Amino acid sequence: MQEQLNHLVALQEMDNTIRQVLQDLERLPEEIRSVDKEVQEAEASFQQFLRELEELKKKRKSLERDIEELDQKIKKSQIRMMEVKTNKEYKAMLLEMEELKKAKEGLEDLLLDLMEKTESGIQEEKKRKKELEEKRTAGKEKKERLERKGKEEEQRLTGLKTRREELSSLLAGDLLKQYEYLRSRLHGLAVAEVKNGTCLGCHMYLPPQLYNELHRQDRILTCPTCLRILHFDPTSPNGKD
């Protein structure tokens, strides 16, 4: 009976491992999607930055054209000033010139600000482009690692399932049925270790007589509370009183 109990413990440990591998495999697609999303968000952020930088460049060109137009108007006004005949006309032309020059100065201040922002944006573009390339590379490498892990875990799962079949074949038919029934009803845990008189499956104390009988390990015993098959390992820290 001790041998059968050992097989049960080994089967439970195998099922725990299989469950963990399955959980890891279930998480992988979401992890891969998360990597893709992170790169896509970085791409979108960079494209938005480029659009904003392009708008700055367009505004700069527009201001440069406006300043050029004012320059032309100022030159024309200067020529016209030389042609005026009366003092009144001269004063009017002088006022017009002053207004044109003030308008030009205002646009030049705006242009200077835009030039600084544009130059800063161009430097920022180089920095962001490099960061994006690094993120793309890191994302690609992480995806490849996750995909490799997925293949390795699939192969591992195949081996674990084969080993599980081998372990199952070592159990008596009725004992295997009991194990499978309990596992299906008790969240995958059919065999529970006992520590200090407590079932670690439900964390309830065992009756003293049952606990003493468990030490003999001469038959299969179950927890009166959760019905799990009890396992006592005197060599384990969990098995010491």
Residue 90 has pLDDT above 90, yes or no: no
pLDDT tens-digit series, residues 161-171: 999 999 999 99
Question: How high is the pLDDT of residue 3?
Answer: 92
pLDDT tens-digit series, residues 33-61: 999 999 999 999 999 999 999 999 999 99
pLDDT tens-digit series, residues 112-135: 999 999 999 999 999 999 999 999
Same domain as 34, residue 89: yes
Question: How high is the pLDDT of residue 241?
Answer: 44
Q: Which of residues 114, 149, 169 is at a domain's end?
A: 169
What does DSSP assign to residue 228?
P
Domain-located, residue 8: no
What average pLDDT does the segment 200-213 reach? 95
Domain-located, residue 60: yes
Same domain as 125, residue 65: yes
Q: Domain holding 135: CATH number?
A: 1.10.287.1490
Question: How high is the pLDDT of residue 1?
Answer: 78
Listed range (80-89, 101-110, 157-166) with the worst mean pLDDT: 80-89
The string of DSSP codes covering 179-216 is HHHHHHHTTT--EEEEETTEETTTTEEPPHHHHHHHHH
Same domain as 214, residue 159: no
Q: What are phi and psi of 102, to 5 degrees?
A: -65, -40
Give the relative orientation of helices 2-81 and 173-185 as an angle to the nearest 10 degrees: 30
Domain-located, residue 109: yes
Domain-located, residue 11: no
What average pLDDT does the segment 172-183 reach? 96
Q: What confidence category does residue 238 fall into, taking pLDDT thresholds of 50, 70 and 90?
A: very low
Q: Which of residues 147, 169, 191 is at a domain's end?
A: 169
Q: Which of residues 169, 202, 227 is at a domain's end?
A: 169
What's the pTM?
Answer: 0.73
Question: How high is the pLDDT of residue 104?
Answer: 94
Domain-located, residue 16: no
Number of H helices, E strands in the chain: 4, 4
Taking the CA atoms of the chain, what radius of gyration do you get in angstroms? 40
Domain span at residue 94? 23-169
Same domain as 150, residue 63: yes
- Determine what percent of the chain is predicted with pLDDT higher than 70: 98
Q: Measuring CA to CA, how many Å separate 36 from each of 42, 47, 75?
A: 10, 16, 58
The three-class DSSP label of residue 43 is helix
Same domain as 87, residue 192: no
Neighbours of 32 (CB within 10 A): 16
Total number of domains constituting the chain:
2
Same domain as 187, residue 139: no
Domain-located, residue 9: no
- Planar angle of CA 84, 90, 91, nearest 5 degrees: 165
In terms of Cα–Cα distance, which of 128, 133, 112, 137 is closest to 50? 128
Domain-located, residue 53: yes
